[in-house]
Homo-oligomer: A and B are copies of this chain.
Amino acid sequence: MFDRINTYIIRHTNLTVEELAYFNSVLQYKTFPKKTILLHEGEVCNFEAFINKGCIRMYYIDENGFEVTLQFAIEDWWVSDIASFHDQKPSAMFIETLEECELLILSPQTKESLLARVPQLERMFRILVQRNLSSLQGRLFKTIATSAQDKYLDFIKRYPTIPQRVPQHYIASYLGISAEFLSKVRTKLSKK
């Protein structure tokens, strides 16, 4: 049950055996069926979850019902609306399972006490957020500066396993293009 996350932790920290055991002891293991909404817009996000198995999507919806996928997350990723989680304020996004999921969950309280007891994790979480920030910066750049086709090619290169796991129109909403146009881009590419 903790194999996957422990491998992850060992790669990113040098916790002692005791610390690791303590870490495991505060995690809450939970499974969710496909298409479960874990976080609704307007709710406070009370989890930071490590994906042991499954696939999750984070997205925004505007007044007109227009959807933008912020992130797909699969095994070994952490998911949370970190701002909502941390400041305990209402979230602007949705988080939804796309497959049946096994998650290892931290609540704000357990994370707090975990960080107090194992300060080294403070660093790990900071680095995690930094990586996230940096890749989001790069993505914003690409979103603005490159064509639909290039964004799509870049996407399948960066996340080669995602297209097999999620419906194509979600990928379109990640790239910031319409589902129809993504389809047209794909047929054009396949003709080459």
For the complex, count residues of A whose C-beta is within 8 A of B.
34
Q: Which residues of chain B are near A131, meaning CB under 8 Å? A: 83
Majority-rule SS of A interface residues: helix
In the bound complex, do residue A129 and residue B140 qualify as a contact, i.e. CB atoms below 8 Å apart?
no
Q: Does A122 contact B (CB under 8 A)?
A: yes
Asked if A60 meets B145 with Cβ closer than 8 Å, knowing A131-B83, A136-B133, A139-B140, the reply is yes
Asked if A122 meets B126 with Cβ closer than 8 Å, knowing A68-B141, A140-B136, A140-B140, the reply is yes
Q: Does A62 contact B (CB under 8 A)?
A: yes
Of chain B, the residue at the smallest CB distance from A70 is B137
Q: Does A132 contact B (CB under 8 A)?
A: yes
Which A residues form the contact surface with B (CB < 8 A)?
Answer: 60, 62, 66, 68, 70, 81-83, 86, 92-93, 119, 122-123, 125-127, 129-134, 136-141, 143-146, 176
